[in-house]
Amino acid sequence: MIWLIFGILTAFFEAVKDVFGKQNLKKNDEYVVAWSLAFFSAVFLTPLVFFAGIPPLNLQFWMALSVGGSLNAITAILYIKAIKLSDLSLTVPLVALTPLFMLLTSPLIVGEYPNLFDCMGIFLIVTGSYLLNIKEKSQGYLAPFKALLRQPGPKLMLIVAFLWSITANFDKIGVQNSSPIVWLFALFTSMSVILLPILLYKTPNPARKIGRDLPMLATMGFFNALGVIFQMQALTMTLVVQVIALKRTSVLMGVLFGHFIFKEKDIQQRLLGAAIMIGGVFLIIL
C-alpha cells in the first residue's frame, strides 16, 4: 500500500501549492503564475534527472508528451485563473470531478474500466458538488448547479477537471515509456516553453515581476514538484483513476486553507460538500 502513502503526500503538496498560487495572484497575473509553476517545477526536477538517468525514449513517449504538454499548458492557465476569480474553497473541490470524467476517458485511452464502487462514487461526487452551493436551493433544486456555472472560477475549474481526466492517462503512458522523473521534467519543460510566448504577449515586463516575487514563485514550484513526484511514483503501482481519486483529497485541505488563511465564508456547506465528494473518491479507490 505504498501507493496510498504516496497519494496522500501528493494531495498535501497539491493543497500547499494552491495556497502559494493564491498568494502569488495578489501581485501577479495568471500568466506569470502559470509559467512560474511550470518553469520552477522543471528547475527543481533537473538534479533528479541527472541522478536517475534518461532511459531510451520511444515514439509513444513523444506522442504522450506532445498531447500532455499542450493540454497541461492550457489547464495551468485555466486553473490559476479559476482560483484567482473565485474562493479557493469553492473552486478547488470541483477538481474532485476528475475521477468522474476519467470513468469515460480511461477506458478509451488506457483500457481501464469502472465497477460498481466507481458508480456509487460518482453519485457521491455529484451530490457533494451540489452541496457546495446548497444555499442557492431556495431558488430551485437545480439552482446550486446553476450557481456554479454562473460563477467564472467554478466554470473554469470544471473545464480543468475534464482536461485533467485526459492528461492523467497520458501521464501514465509517458511514465510507462520513460520513468517518473524523466516524464515530469519533460512535461514541465514543454509546458514552460509553450507558455513562454503567451506570457511575453500577455504580461508587460514579466522578467521584472518574476524577479520581484522570485522566492514565493519558486516555493510554489518546489511544492508542486514534490507533489507530482509522489503522484508519478504512485502511477507505476496502481490504476490511474485510483491515484487521481486519492489526489483529490486535497480538496478538503483546500477548503480548510481557504477558510483559515484567506478567511473565506460558507465554510460549513463547502466542507460538507467537499467531504461527501471525498467519500465518493474513496469508493472509487475501493
Q: Work out the average pLDDT over 149-178.
A: 86
Q: Nearest to residue 239, comparing CAs of 93, 63, 102? A: 102
pLDDT digits 0-9 by tens, 218-232: 999 999 999 988 887
| Distance separating alpha carbons of residues 135 and 54, to the nearest angstrom | 52
| Distance separating alpha carbons of residues 201 and 31, to the nearest angstrom | 10
Q: pLDDT at residue 286 above 70?
A: no
Structural domains in the chain (count) = 1
Domain region containing 134: 2-285
pLDDT digits 0-9 by tens, 202-211: 999 999 999 9
Q: Work out the average pLDDT over 10-29.
A: 90
Report residue 90 as a C-alpha cell. Answer: 469553492
Q: Minimum mean pLDDT among 163-167, 187-191, 235-239: which range? A: 235-239
pLDDT digits 0-9 by tens, 122-131: 777 767 766 7
- 172 or 277: which leads in pLDDT: 172
Residues present in the chain in total: 286
Name the percent of the chain lying above pLDDT 70: 86
The pTM score is: 0.82
pLDDT of residue 150: 73
Q: Nearest to residue 11, comparing CAs of 281, 286, 284, 212? A: 281
pLDDT digits 0-9 by tens, 64-75: 999 999 999 999
pLDDT of residue 75: 95
